[in-house]
Amino acid sequence: LSDPSDPSDPSDLSDLSDSSDWSDRSDRSDLSDSSDLSDSSDMSDLSDMSDLSDSSDSSDPSDLSDPSDPSDLSDPSDPSDLSDLSDWSDSSDPSDLSDWSDSSDLSDLSDLSDSSDRSDRSDSPVEARGEHDGRFCFEACLKRGYAVATMCYWELHPDHPHGFQDSILRMYFDENVWKSPERPSAAISAWAWGISRCIDALETQPEIDSHKIAVHGLSRLGKTALWAGANDMRIALTISDCSGTCGAKLSHRYYGEDFSWIKLWNEHWVMPAFDAFIGKKDATIPIDQHQLIGCIAPRLAYVTSATNDCWADPKGEFLSAKAASEFYKLFGMKGLEIDEFPAPGTANFGEIGYYLRRGEHNCTPENWNALLDYADKRLK
């Protein structure tokens, strides 16, 4: 679990969310210019904004805000001693509610929403842009007073096992090291590094309140958001949407997707040392994902799940958020304000927020509305 803020050793535990919305490399629009987002009268092409990635200042990654030792990601608390999480098996399927409210302020919701359906990711970034624009509710964000900046993770490290030569990691080591058992990093850390470079750009914009930056991601990018939030202290609100294995869900629960699937599908996400836990050994890892969420404390964390997303284990994500509350108590906070797995559509506004939506693995307008309600109450 190395800190992406240290480019010499940006190792990686996270499991990322996917995004098949790619950025047009021929049009590197300036991510930092949030003034382009101010006019909500014509939102016809906002879906393309999901790909205006900016890996600015990649020549100087040393300015990442938190160069802490990656070993800090494991908390001395014993993850096996989660006595208050007695029910790790039930993944009940509750009901639905959503809410709108209004506000005005110019904070920033940096978005890494997933646009993936595990379709062919060999398409070029240009051809794939906008395939899942329904997952991006930018107009709603703007109307609520939030600026939106987006990043295409593919430009930091292409999401396939042979993407090293087109990634930022080649600035730090060569392909022989990448292919070796001593590889010091992987794709997820490259993506998280890119988030911090985007924040560098946002901090230069006077219209952005750099103390109220949120990072959002779905699925594998939800895991990336958690990893970035744990390492970059400038992120005020970290949002994990259906991030599942190596994201928000507990590995020791061993439910849904396991480590073996991560290794089979996306070994470029993780370091070779991950192999030690392959083969029904998930529960032997000496840490668990509630500790990753705990590393965000005392800053805000928000976890969302979907009732039918069994692969990502909604109950396990909730239990992880609940266990992470112990870290927030060290700061005199409560963390998650509910003790029982909630019905879908139930809003809660603790330092750790949790929202369950009825449906499949996705990010929908309901998710955005609930998130904006949380941000209105907690971020503003």
Residue pair 303/354 in contact (Cβ under 8 Å)? The answer is yes
User: Among 371, 293, 344, 287, which Cα is nearest to 93's?
Assistant: 344
**Cβ-based neighbours of 322, under 8 Å, separated by 6 or more:** 84, 85, 290, 335, 336, 339
Residue pair 352/207 in contact (Cβ under 8 Å)? The answer is no
Helices 220-231 and 187-202, interaxial angle, to 10°? Answer: 60
Going 77 to 189 to 298 to 104, the CA torsion angle's sign is: negative
User: Among 77, 110, 121, 69, which Cα is nearest to 269's?
Assistant: 121
10 Å Cβ neighbour count for 68? 15
**Cβ-based neighbours of 206, under 8 Å, separated by 6 or more:** none
10 Å Cβ neighbour count for 124? 11
Cis peptide before 298 (omega within 30 of 0): yes
Pairwise CA distance, residues 108 & 150, whole Å: 10
Q: Which of 219, 243, 251, 305 is catalytic?
A: 219
Q: Which of 132, 157, 268, 361 is catalytic?
A: 361
User: Among 194, 272, 177, which Cα is nearest to 231's?
Assistant: 194
Catalytic, 219? Answer: yes
**Cβ-based neighbours of 115, under 8 Å, separated by 6 or more:** 18, 19, 20, 21, 50, 131, 132, 133, 135, 218
The three-state secondary structure class of 327 is helix
Report, as residue numbers or ranges, the catalytic residues. 219, 361
